[in-house]
Structure 1
Amino acid sequence: MATILITSATLVSAAHPLHMSTVDVLLKNGKIEKLAKQIKSDDKNLRQIDAKGSFLALGFFDLNVNFGEPGYETKEDIATGSAAAAAGGFTAVAVQPNTNPPIHSRSEVALIVNTAKGNLVDVYPIGTISRKREGKELAELFDMKQTGAVAFSDGNHAVQQAGLMGRALLYAKGFQGLIMSHPEDDSIAGGNKMNEGEVSTYLGMKGNPNLAESIMVSRDLFLAEYNEAAIHFSTISTEESVDLIKKAKAKGLKVSCDVAAHNLVFTDEEVKGFDSNYKVNPPLRTKKDIKALLKGLKDGTIDAIVSQHTPHEIEFKNVEFQIAYDGIIASQTVLPLLIKAGLSPEAIVEKLSVGPRKVLSLPVPSLEEGADANLVLFSTDKKWIFDAKTNKSKAANSPLFGQELTGKVLAVFNNNQTVIND
């Protein structure tokens, strides 16, 4: 990283004495050399970034991305996934085990850790709860933790056996491992691909009801309480789930949760056009659910926001809605969606920079002088077009593709590296 001087940025860091003040930041050799209200430098090789009207914060952390490697590199590999993440303001990501083979042993964990070495974006593997994500027997949780896994989940496969989930919670508790639940009861969801409600009735499509999610949230909360273990719920989407988790936190349970950015903006009304890019899991819900999710973010029930970046080749999305695969590419569109949802810069930083790291019990980077520079510079009003030129992913399955978006990541700094989005 060259010596860089960022000038006139608004610092967003609730823990810093200059929070919401206009500051200059001098970066040298990958470290914060100086942070003050005004900095003057005589360095002729200095690169200056005028950040007037923009915000500077700790680098974003994404708790839910799918990179495809190993096995599905045609969808996304670690290099292209990291490039998309960096363009979206993320300096760290946790990758889901939806791979082939799944991340279910120390070998796959080591592969990801070693492949990602030297990246600007820190890549943390999430190991499986069960072998092969089949939901039958526990995977090698402790071995994976020792090798670098930061949590355990069966990805987009919900653990249907309550006994297996209970054993996972109890076993992981012994070494401070975190179990992540993808809450969906398959027997109720029925493999249906959109929200059950007025729109599904109008379209004549079988729906996936809120109950499929909330009943699994309820089950896993009981299991976590019984085993006195910590649990994290990935991508909740319903009013009922927010209410259940809020009550569990009030009881003192060790529970956290996140929500996907698209579930804060899009509703099941979008499905009327049968655009398969609106097909996600959990499905897009209703305005009532979005209202509850936004309230849950505000009152602290929801700890983090994720992209749920899920790339697919064109043959898996450019087909009939019913048979299309779930998921959208989303690393680069999280910020514009959160601005559209009405979140303030402070709320965005809390749910993208601080909250995710706290969920995983990882240290929150420091903004003190002498600390490693782990930063994102973003604007809440600059416009840009998300298209083939700006897209860094291998895939293009996004309902926002080709649109002008408001809210742009201007630069990220981490591991003595810089990416600037011109």
Structure 2
Amino acid sequence: MNLIIRAARIIDPKSLFHNQVVDIKINNGLIEKINLSIDNKDNLEELQLENLHISQGWFDTSVSLGEPGFEDRETISNGLQVAAKSGFTGIALQPNSFPILDNQSQINFVKQKAKDFATELFPIGALTKNSEGTELAELFDMKNAGAIAFGDYNKSLDNANLLKISLQYTQDFNGIVIAFCQDNTIKGKGLVHEGIVSTMLGLKGIPSLAEELIIARNLFILEYTGGKLHIPTISTAKSVQLIKEAKTKGLHVTCSVAIHNLILMDKTIESFDTRFKVLPPLRKEEDRKALIAGVLDHTIDCITSDHNPIDIEHKKIEFDLAKNGTIGLESAFGALQTILPIEIIIEKLTSGKTVFNIENETLDEGQKANITLFNPEGNYTFTENNILSKSKNSAFLGQNLKGKVYGIYNQGKLILS
């Protein structure tokens, strides 16, 4: 649709109009004109919203949707609508469906399902067949079908040689390997962060060492092989330090952090509420502060909601039996606004496009209109009424959040929440 957006403040440091309040004329999906005031000679539809801010469209680097196989948790169609109304013009889809997205036909299936939606879907192919960690999947075929990277969601690769081979092999076609980091022998039967809280509650703990050992191992392998490695959802202070040192060496490593690890701590599990059971686990305050510092000094490249819908049968049960995961799309912007300045939030919600080699349009004339619309002001309490997902397993229920997402404009479509 063609329209004129009125009185919008542009938040895009790469744009000529950064931090200016302007009108934007969109024609055939492109930004035709930006000016202080635009005449509506063509009688186009107009959009004017309170304290409207716009930025490049946000991109979430880790979203699970369930379909195919787990449609009771979430479908692709509803998930993309949730993403759009949460401000995301693009999402990276994790391969943890049933069947696992480990071949060309599965990548084609989810891309076909996502056609004609305002929010674009970029599939991550499984690194190993059936995400079992024993044999590499059809990486090159999946790349040709549209996979943007390869990784086994929340599964650490025990076989160091397989990671070595994957980093060598993917260099032939500029592929990216995603390596979730956790030493499974050290984790053992751990459920939460190992510390004072886990001891008090009598819950088996997951030491920070479990994450840090594998990060150190994987970085050594990357230094040996070359290639591109993305480490998702880091959670400890030492992890930030290790990645910072690797970047100083010039290694091609990027990383992300989940929003809940930036805001919540292990003490929240004192209620035994399974909404707070996530992987990696919520850590202590020192880790949380180090993660925020890593975001601010750009050691951490991007922030993800790590959106993972879980049905009530697998979530609202005994703590040790409940599945890990929280939904996060709907609460992402409001939660981040409680801890970070707006320009950092926008940068970290869009930088994933650069990490995964996805076109990143600036808000300038002649560019594709890939836009998120929001109001950074206003406080509210996040309740189940704010949840649009089929699953309701949000770690942010009852939290005081800030700001409002109006929606997106992308693929020639306007979606408002």
Q: TM-score, normalised by structure 1?
A: 0.96
Q: 1:205 aligns with which of 203, 210, 217?
A: 203
Q: Structure 2 residue aligned with 1:399, among 390, 395, 398?
A: 395
Determine the structure 2 residue equivalent to 1:241: 239
For the Cα contact (< 8 Å) 1:267–1:284, is it kept in 2? yes
Alpha-carbon distance in 1 for matches of 2:412, 2:381: 28
TM-fit CA distance, 1:50: 3.1
Post-superposition offset of 1:384: 4.9
1:129 aligns with 2:127: yes
Amino acid at match of 2:393: N
SS in 1 for 2:279: coil
- Map of 1:12-411 to 2, 5 A cutoff? 12-52=11-51, 54-341=52-339, 343-353=340-350, 355-384=351-380, 386-401=382-397, 405-411=401-407
* TM superposition shift of 1:45: 4.4
Which amino acid in 1 is paired with 2:324?
D
Partner Cα separation in structure 2 for residue 149 and residue 48 of structure 1:
35
C-alpha contact 1:93 1:124 (8 A) present in aligned 2: yes
Distance in structure 1 (CA, Å) of the matches to 2:265 and 2:385: 28
- Residue 391 of structure 1, CA deviation: 2.2
Q: Quote the offset at 1:411 in angstroms.
A: 2.0
Question: Does the CA contact (< 8 Å) of 2:10 and 2:18 recur in 1?
Answer: yes
SS in 1 for 2:292: helix
Q: Does 1:420 align with 2:388?
A: no
Q: CA deviation at 1:403?
A: 5.4
> Once the 2 structures are TM-superposed, how far is the Cα of residue 322 of structure 1 from its aligned partner?
1.4
Cα deviation, 1:103-162, whole Å, max 9, x if unaligned, reads: 111011110111111111110110111111111111110010011100000111111110
Write the letter of the residue equivalent to 1:407.
G
**Aligned residue identity for 2:240:** V
Q: Which moved more, 1:165-174 or 1:262-271?
A: 165-174
Partner amino acid for 2:45? Answer: L
Per the TM alignment, residue 402 of structure 1 is displaced from its structure 2 partner at its CA by 5.6
SS of 1:174's partner is helix
Q: Secondary structure at the match of 1:34?
A: strand
Aligned residues: 417
Q: Distance in 2 between matches of 1:109 and 1:364?
A: 22
Q: Unpaired runs of 5+ in structure 2?
A: none
Kept in 1, the 8 Å contact 2:12–2:362? The answer is no
- What is the letter of the counterpart of residue 389 of structure 2? S
> Does structure 1 retain, via aligned residues, the 8 Å contact 2:133–2:158?
yes
Deviations 1:31-85 (A, max 9, x none): 2121123323244442231343x32100100010001111111111111111111
What is the rounded CA distance, in whole Å, between the counterparts of 1:216 and 1:276 in structure 2? 26
Q: In structure 2, the residue corresponding to 1:380 is in which secondary structure?
A: strand
What fraction of aligned residue pairs are identical, expressed as a percent? 39
> Using the alignment, how far apart are the partners of 1:78 and 1:414 within structure 2?
17
5+ unaligned residues in a row in structure 1: which ranges? none
Q: In structure 2, what is the Cα distance between the partners aligned to 1:55 and 1:292?
A: 29
Letter in 2 for 1:151: A
Q: What is the CA distance between 1:385 and its match in structure 2?
A: 5.5
CA contact (8 A) 1:88 1:331 kept: yes
Letter in 2 for 1:21: Q
Counterpart of 2:413, as a letter, is Q
Partner of 2:270, secondary structure, is helix
CA distance in 2, matches of 1:227, 1:243: 21
- Tell me, in whole angstroms, the C-alpha distance in 2 between the residues paired with 1:320 and 1:411: 37
Classify the secondary structure of the residue corresponding to 2:235: coil
The AA in structure 1 aligned to 2:352 is P
What TM-score results when the alignment is normalised by the length of structure 2? 0.97
Q: Distance in 1 between matches of 2:279 and 2:399?
A: 23
Distance in 2 separating the partners of 1:167 and 1:293 = 30
Contact 1:384/1:408 (CA < 8 Å) preserved in 2? no
Distance 1:15 1:394 in 2: 37
CA distance in 2, matches of 1:350, 1:44: 34
Name the CA distance, whole Å, in 2 between partners of 1:102 and 1:395: 20
Contact 1:217/1:241 (CA < 8 Å) preserved in 2?
Answer: yes
Moved more, 251-260 or 384-393: 384-393
Name the aligned partner's letter for residue 121 of structure 1: T
Partner secondary structure for residue 366 of structure 2: coil
> Could you give the per-residue CA deviations for residues 208-238 of structure 1, whole angstroms, max 9, x where no partner exists?
0110101110011011110011100000011
How far off is 1:370 after superposition?
A: 2.8
